[in-house]
Amino acid sequence: MGTSPDERLLRALYAEHGGPLLGYALRLTGGDHQQAEDVVQETLLRAWRHPEALAKRPVRPWLFTVVRNLVVDAHRARVARGGRHLPIDDGQATLAALPGSDDIDRALESWTVAEALADLSPSHRAVIVETYYHGRSVADTAKVLGIPPGTVKSRTYYALRALKLALEERGLAP
């Protein structure tokens, strides 16, 4: 007997995203391992129930947003049921310090861009870092990298094309 497509999807999601999701959930729950595991399990269950959500956008940011929403919802439910506010060591400070969803989206996009940059060849990555992140001119980049200015221009052109492709593969570029 083989595994169903649904089971393969869940296994693939867990294999690719389970570790980072658990780490994030642990931070949000103040280190409560059981609650963090429950949140990750519920997140993957929601991904399985709503495969259309995975097809329309990058998967990892959506998963991280679901984790955050589940932790916040659980906290609000505890307070609404008359539960006491959580002490600082149970995650209240973590929840209070949570950035808004826009900040989380920006952070996830930054991680995705960093992963895409890591996939570039060292020469392409170096030229992108020098020109875009350090803001150097072509001439300054040529001096720093010890290559001719024409090489900086051509590497930048091809590096940007490779970066765009890497970002498209991750669902971040149009």
The amino acid present at 17, given as its one-letter code, is H
Cα–Cα distance measured from residue 130 to residue 141, given in angstroms and rounded to the nearest whole number: 6
| pTM > 0.85 | no
Please state the domain extents for the chain.
5-98, 116-169
CA neighbor of 128 nearest in space, from 106, 155, 168, 147: 155
53's tokens: 């959500």
Domain 116-169 fold? Arc Repressor Mutant, subunit A (1.10.10)
CB burial class (10 A; 0-12, 13-18, 19+) of residue 165?
A: middle
pLDDT of residue 128: 92
pLDDT of residue 147: 96
pLDDT of residue 87: 42
Taking only the tens of pLDDT, the chain with its 174 residues reads 566 776 787 788 888 888 888 888 888 888 889 998 999 899 888 887 877 777 766 788 888 888 888 888 887 777 777 655 544 334 445 445 555 555 666 666 777 788 788 889 999 999 999 998 889 999 999 999 999 999 999 999 999 999 888 877 766 655
55's tokens: 């097809």
